[in-house]
Structure 1
């Protein structure tokens, strides 16, 4: 995913108007937002330095090392000028200074047996585990009853691939557009943290090739950690389910995230999940 740093910086300066940072807005501008020279001036760095950074080249860098030499102070100043939020700020650091190859973790193929036992013990809570590329690596029976993981081919048992390549997901998710935007923002955040993850590259490549919706959203460079929220699922048997969710990073494997749907006890959704779990347990 080469070019992420430059594309991200260009997209973020394009959304800042000169008058927002105290600069005159008169005169014709060839591009929207701030010019590179203005970002450099406001951040207190030379224009050449900022241009090199936007090209993915830091001080003393080569085509292989990219911007590894850029300091925290410079990145923090640029984040301030571009008005990045906390998640965008962390993403800027990640893509500007990717970890050395020797320090990059290889993704484990599956979860520990203890994690699977934990999932299975959550009989009233649909829960599953995602990898950095949004592959579903483990799940419990109720999550399978809601989302049908076991019926998906292993190579495409991935929430992003399913969302954009399976037309049926437009019926499954009444708020498909919002779910799609959140998914891409989360996937891009993962790309910043795992720049050399082969599986993540494969997923982004396949979606870029096959989905116009994905290409459009990916080009927006939105980054967001979707760690909690609410999703609505229209299940063919149980009907409309309103599912608050919580996401927890597994301590020993920080590239694994456990996602649990947590409807309010006694709610209509909770009752429908109980009924769905009963159907699933009897093989209905």
Structure 2
């Protein structure tokens, strides 16, 4: 009888021990879950806070004078100066994010950047982005070497024409097949710096690009080596592009730009880069 009693007591102690262990494990698991939850919450808050205090601008770093790498190795340019002043007025930290131009939509949709601000033409893109009001006008033009016999569109027949991939000039030429079909070849290049080198070395006969960048590139090189055809390929306007539907941030930026127009800051920055006020913001 004593044996049975002792065995019963032993079994009871063992069950009590298992129950205690399970309770401890459950408590530990609960505490771990609570800690992980707090960490996740804090991380989320930090990310949210960061997104509210920064203004990340996507741009092509090989697109002077709008956005490029200066002699000191720092990002600079007309559009980047405008963006920095807007960020200051919004109480945000400016972040310059260089991007591959043909990946700009992916960068914008993924949230890597807040906007595209780099000589960004609204032409043929009107319904793809949420835009600010245009702040600058521009033409698409052809640049050739000064010793070239190309003086008009007709002279481009049979010639090799180069254009930056996914640029406004490429879009115009794809649409204007009456002209582009006369070319011997229409090829793309990653950036206009490379395009100018190709033109200098005789690898291509003409470069289709926007006039603002063309004139800047020519003045920074030997101006006598290049000429711009008199007739523009097309005309366009520059604006800041946001993800479609992001009116809230667009409105904040537009308000800052309007203030810069009214107090003369827009004019001052334009004169710094172009020697005159080329802005058209109304």
TM-score normalised per structure 1: 0.22
When you count strand as a share of all residues, which structure comes out higher?
2
Q: Which has the higher contact order (CA 8 A, sep 6+)?
A: 2
Greater Cα radius of gyration, structure 1 or 2: 2
Query: What's the TM-score, normalizing by structure 2?
Result: 0.23
